[in-house]
C-alpha cells in the first residue's frame, strides 16, 4: 500500500480518533484537526507523521488556516475524511432556530468549507478522494431526529452532487453512512438534546431519547474495523460512492429501499401519466 496524506476532521475523539491512530499505525501521514489540538496529542502522542492542528468547523478562516498548515508540512492532501460533527435528538417544534442553525453550520456548512479549501490542491495534483460522513440516519431517519437527519441528508446530496463535478478532474467522492459504533457519540459531548419542552411531545420523546442514550457502550459496530474498512477502500482504484457501514446501517438501508420500491410501484401508473398528450 502506498502511504498517503490524509486530512481527518474531528480527530480528537470517536471514529476520527480511531481512524487517525490506525492510519499512523499503517505508515500514513495525517493532518488531524479538532477544536483542541492538545487533546489529539494527549491521545496519540508525538509522531513525525502527525500534524495536530486546531480547526473550528464554524469558522471558515480557522478551516483555511488549518489546511494551509497541513499543506505547509506535508505538501499535499491525498484523502479527505470529513468526520467532524455532532448528533441532535429532539422534536423539531421544540428546537429553536438558533439550535437548528448551530447544527447546520457545524455539520453541513463546515464540511462544505473544508471541501472548498481542499479542492484547489486536489485539482492541481489531478487526483484525490473525499469521504463525506453522512449517517445511516441520513438515509432512513428515526424519530425525533429531524434536524440531524436534515443535515445528514444534505451531506449525502452534497457528496453525490460534487462527485459529478469532480470526476473529470480525477477526484472521487464517497458518502459514508455509518450505523452505531461503540464510541462516545451517544454521550453528552457528542449528542445534543433540547431545553424547550412542549407537553404534548414529552412522554414519547423522552422515552425515545432515553432509549437511544441507553445504547451507549452497547453499539454493534467496532470502530477499529470501521477504520480498517476505510483504509482498505482508499487503496482501491474505484471507491464506492455510497458506503453503508455496519449491520444496523444495512438494515436501515434495506428498510428504506423497501419503502421506496413500494411507493414507486403503488403510484407508478398514476404518477407516470402526468404528461402532455400528442
Choice among 34, 62, 134, 135 that is catalytic: 134
130 backbone dihedrals φ, ψ, rounded to 5°: -120, 120
What gap in Å lies between CA 125 and CA 205, rounded to an integer? 49
225 backbone dihedrals φ, ψ, rounded to 5°: -70, -35
148 is catalytic: yes
What gap in Å lies between CA 98 and CA 104, rounded to an integer? 10
Residue 25 to residues 46, 49, 121, 184, 222, Cα–Cα distance (Å): 13, 10, 25, 22, 17
12 is catalytic: yes
SS3 227: helix
Choice among 86, 121, 144, 148 that is catalytic: 148
What are the residues facing 172 on neighbouring strands? 129
Choice among 12, 62, 172, 175 that is catalytic: 12
Cell of 194: 433540547
Choice among 4, 22, 140, 152 that is catalytic: 152
What gap in Å lies between CA 12 and CA 89, rounded to an integer? 22
**Which of the residues are catalytic?**
12, 134, 148, 152
Amino acid at each position: 500500500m502506498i502511504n498517503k496524506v490524509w486530512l481527518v476532521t474531528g480527530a480528537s475523539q470517536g471514529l476520527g480518533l480511531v481512524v487517525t491512530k490506525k492510519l499512523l499505525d499503517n505508515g500514513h501521514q495525517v493532518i488531524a484537526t479538532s477544536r483542541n489540538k492538545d487533546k489529539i496529542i494527549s491521545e496519540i502522542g508525538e509522531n513525525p507523521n502527525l500534524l495536530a492542528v486546531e480547526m473550528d468547523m464554524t469558522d471558515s478562516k480557522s478551516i483555511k488556516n488549518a489546511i494551509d498548515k497541513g499543506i505547509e508540512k506535508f505538501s499535499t492532501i491525498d484523502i479527505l475524511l470529513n468526520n467532524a460533527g455532532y448528533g441532535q435528538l429532539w422534536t423539531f417544534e421544540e428546537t429553536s432556530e438558533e439550535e437548528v442553525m448551530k447544527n447546520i453550520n457545524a455539520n453541513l456548512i463546515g464540511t462544505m468549507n473544508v471541501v472548498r479549501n481542499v479542492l484547489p490542491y486536489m485539482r492541481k495534483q489531478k487526483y484525490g478522494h473525499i469521504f463525506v460522513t453522512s449517517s445511516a440516519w441520513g438515509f432512513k431517519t428515526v424519530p425525533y431526529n429531524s434536524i440531524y437527519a436534515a443535515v445528514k441528508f444534505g451531506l449525502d446530496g452534497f457528496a453525490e452532487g460534487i462527485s459529478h463535478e469532480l470526476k473529470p478532474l480525477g477526484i472521487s467522492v464517497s458518502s459514508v453512512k455509518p450505523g452505531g459504533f461503540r464510541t462516545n457519540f451517544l454521550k453528552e459531548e457528542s449528542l445534543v438534546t433540547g431545553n424547550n419542552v412542549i407537553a404534548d411531545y414529552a412522554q414519547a420523546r423522552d422515552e425515545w431519547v432515553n432509549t437511544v442514550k441507553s445504547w451507549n457502550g452497547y453499539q454493534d459496530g467496532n470502530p477499529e474495523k470501521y477504520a480498517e474498512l476505510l483504509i482498505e477502500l482508499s487503496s482501491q482504484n474505484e471507491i464506492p460512492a455510497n458506503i453503508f457501514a455496519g449491520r444496523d446501517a444495512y438494515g436501515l438501508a434495506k428498510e428504506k429501499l423497501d419503502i421506496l420500491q413500494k411507493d414507486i410501484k403503488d403510484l407508478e401508473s398514476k404518477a407516470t401519466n402526468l404528461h402532455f398528450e400528442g
